[in-house]
Amino acid sequence: MTFVALTASAQLPTLVETFPINSVKLGQSQFLKNQQADIHYLLGLDPDRLLAPYQKGAGLKPKAENYTNWENTGLDGHIGGHYLSALSYMYAATGNEEIERRLDYFLDELRKCQNAAGNGYLGGVPNPKQIWGEIAQGNIRAGSFGLNDRWVPLYNLHKIYAGLRDACTVAGRVAARQMLVHLTDWMIQEVSQLSDEQIQQMLISEQGGLNETFADVYDITHRPEYLKLAHQFSDQRMLQPLLKGEDNLTGKHANTQIPKVLGYKRIADVEGLEDWNKAARYFWQVVTQERSVSIGAHSVREHFNPKNDFSGLLASEQGPESCNSYNMLRLTKMLYQTSADKNYIDYYERTLYNHILSILNPVQGGFVYFTPMRSGHYRVYSQPQTSMWCCVGTGLENPARYGEMIYAHQGKDIIVNLFIPSTLTTSDVELTQENRFPQEPTTDLKLRLTDAHKFSIKIRQPWWCDKVSVSVNGEHLDVQQALKGKKGTGAECKSEGGYIVITRKWKDGDKIHVDLPMHLTAETTPDGKPQYSFLYGPIVLAAKTGTDRQDGMYADDSRGGHIANGPKIPATQMPAMIGGTALEHLTAVDGKPMQFRLSGVSLPGFEGLTLQPFYKLYECRYQIYFPLYTDQEWSQKQQEIAAAEKAKLELEALTVDKIFCGEQQSESDHFFSGNGSWNGADEGIHWRRTRTAFSYQVKTDGVKSLRLKGFADREKVTVTLGDQNLGTVGFDRQGTATIQLPVDAKGTVKLTITAEPNSQTPRISEIRLCR
């Protein structure tokens, strides 16, 4: 494939525009409470510790030491980029003076780093001269989560690119624009001697959304070399199937792919590429309709699960990843702006309320990485001084962006998309929205105008509401009759494109009241199996099931501290619904809106369990999905579940450490090392194999045996633990092998997997060290 010089062409038309974030101020609601909690978290971070990786990379003496966790084990500096984005959005959203001071200080210190580098480079990647020097010369060693022996350095760089972009375009910092252009010029020089094929080889490694930010730089400068760079950094392995309408996502690392698609969409917008736009739409459709659970989120252990089987996702403690939903909402916004399709807002609302809003602890603060769908499990919350995960980075940004999709406009016409208390201020209109939604299914809009003038206000008709009712200044508007041309209260009212459109000459003090009657619905997972999640209106309901043994609920700084590794409750000890239809099992609680009692369940102790909005639950174990069986099915299923769960739980109880081979985070958490190995996925199961050797760092205290799992390939493998050669083994017909340890091991030790001479290892999917 060859890329040619590109010139600007017609952009895709923008059919609807969102307002700048500084035009919208949140009113009293859970969204505002979360935004205020996020400000405290941002101010609790030490900017000098976040700056340390950049100062070291520039050869400057840092003012403080790096944070620990991911910030000093290879992804040094990635949180700094997110921090810059979060400060930019939070200042624009709130005008907070201390946030502004932090923003300007951080930019000033970053500029010193870039100036000291002398070539435009700015980054926290450890030993930058070595890695970028090797790559510039064509020495490229790429794996899915590594590049030239660094942990996803392109992904790392993308965070500072995005931070500078946001400081420029959202917070209006001119210095950030200059720094962003210089950093992009550095990248052009870095890859100037590489072929397009070599750049594509680099993109085997997770790269974030570099293609998107390069398209942004083109849009800012209108210089075609930046658009060419955006094309060069667009992964063709992902793009080409999407252009053909092919879904090959199963087994792929989810948040590696979504940012790529953001880039395809951004390039499509600035260059007018309808085929790329169609590819992005197709990806969005597949992920949201066929691969997501009720809260609008997706992935198990960070990867796309098979579309026809959600059992692994519902059983895992590593459920949907927060970063995925953050990026899917960004993609949704892009697609909405060039389509004006309100279905995008329906998805946006679902994911915003049920996943994004729920991942911030409203009392103690802290962000969630994984949201387990496993019944009876719980979430882990980050802490400012110990937790530096990717989902902390996007978590910092989310509350600052709550207001960006509440309103939009088409010319002078104002669109109300979300029913979140807030005030929109434009040059000639102030629109205030007040409500207690979703506790009360209504909203009130009040206008402040200097001069009366005619325009339309468009109110979304959500998927969950059968009939929206509207009144202006106390007079009801009949939307159905208005379709035939009826006018009332000096207004024309009609239903169009999923919106109620009210057109009149608006004056100061006009009020609109909107009733949004909600009802209860039950949804299965996309595979159609009889396991139900309940929604009231757009709100996913869940039951609090206990608070015992939430081990590590407040994360430490260990590499696996973001995973809820406490005891798993057996499925047979969680309630299932027996008989009838799913909705027959729920009854509204009198006097308590948004609360429902569960009845007709398999376990007497859970009869009368209360379901309430999931986003209101925190620091507890919970259940979102409830299986439905007939009496006969439950009797048989109970035995099957019990047998399977007993075997799983017994194995977990014996496990000291485990690695899911070929899965990005699991391998990076165990400090994978190796050249000449490769990974893949078959039947939704990830694996790794090699013709030489690869290794991990593993915990061994109390370990008596090592268990390998994979595919029943004929090859054999030699295993070494520390300096102990444990021998050479092959897999049995079930794809398993067990090795007994001759000598007790202690502490963290290097585990090495080696192929036999002139051969390769079998495909290894899982390694466990057991008591």
Per run of 10 residues, the mean pLDDT along the chain (length 771 residues) is 45 96 98 98 98 98 97 96 98 98 98 98 97 97 89 97 98 98 98 98 96 98 98 98 97 96 98 98 98 98 94 95 98 98 98 98 95 98 97 98 98 98 97 98 97 97 94 87 49 93 97 98 97 98 96 93 92 93 97 96 94 98 96 83 81 92 89 83 81 92 92 87 90 90 84 90 93 90
pLDDT computed for residue 681 by the predictor? 76
Burial of 455 (0-12, 13-18, 19+ CB in 10 A): middle
In the 8-state DSSP scheme, what is residue 615?
G
List, in sequence order, the alpha helices (H) in 18-96: 30-44, 47-57, 78-94
Burial of 505 (0-12, 13-18, 19+ CB in 10 A): exposed
pLDDT computed for residue 8 by the predictor? 46
pLDDT computed for residue 2 by the predictor? 36
DSSP E strands, 547-617: 577-578, 586-588, 596-598, 610-613
pLDDT computed for residue 1 by the predictor? 35
Cα 265 to Cα 610: distance, rounded to the nearest angstrom: 42
Cα 303 to Cα 745: distance, rounded to the nearest angstrom: 32
The neighbour count for residue 485, using CB atoms within 10 Å, is 8
pLDDT computed for residue 3 by the predictor? 37
- The token pair at 180 is 């962003």
pLDDT computed for residue 485 by the predictor? 42
- Cis status of the peptide bond prior to 742, with omega within 30 of 0: no
pLDDT computed for residue 684 by the predictor? 67
Which residues have C-beta within 8 Å of that of residue 13, sequence separation ≥ 6?
338
pLDDT computed for residue 584 by the predictor? 97
Cα 67 to Cα 69: distance, rounded to the nearest angstrom: 7
pLDDT computed for residue 9 by the predictor? 53
Q: Checking phi first, is residue 253 left (phi over 0); if not, alpha (psi -120 to 50) or beta?
A: beta
Strand partners, 685: 682
pLDDT computed for residue 484 by the predictor? 40
Q: What are phi and psi of 333, to 5 degrees?
A: -60, -45
- For 459-475, letters b (16+ CB in 10 Å) and e give bbbbbbbeebbbebeee
Which residues have C-beta within 8 Å of that of residue 118, sequence separation ≥ 6?
none
pLDDT computed for residue 10 by the predictor? 76
Q: What are phi and psi of 217, to 5 degrees?
A: -65, -40
- The token pair at 247 is 């879904």
CA–centroid distance for 195 within its chain: 32
pLDDT computed for residue 632 by the predictor? 85
Cα 357 to Cα 614: distance, rounded to the nearest angstrom: 9
HSE at residue 563, side-chain half, CA atoms within 13 A, is 16
DSSP E strands, 614-735: 621-623, 626-629, 655-660, 677-682, 685-690, 693-699, 705-710, 716-721, 724-730
| Alpha-carbon distances, residue 745 vs 544, 654, 705, 724, 737 (angstroms) | 41, 16, 10, 9, 20
Least Cα distance to 301 among 355, 373, 360, 351 occurs for 373
Cα 334 to Cα 337: distance, rounded to the nearest angstrom: 5
Cα 339 to Cα 409: distance, rounded to the nearest angstrom: 13
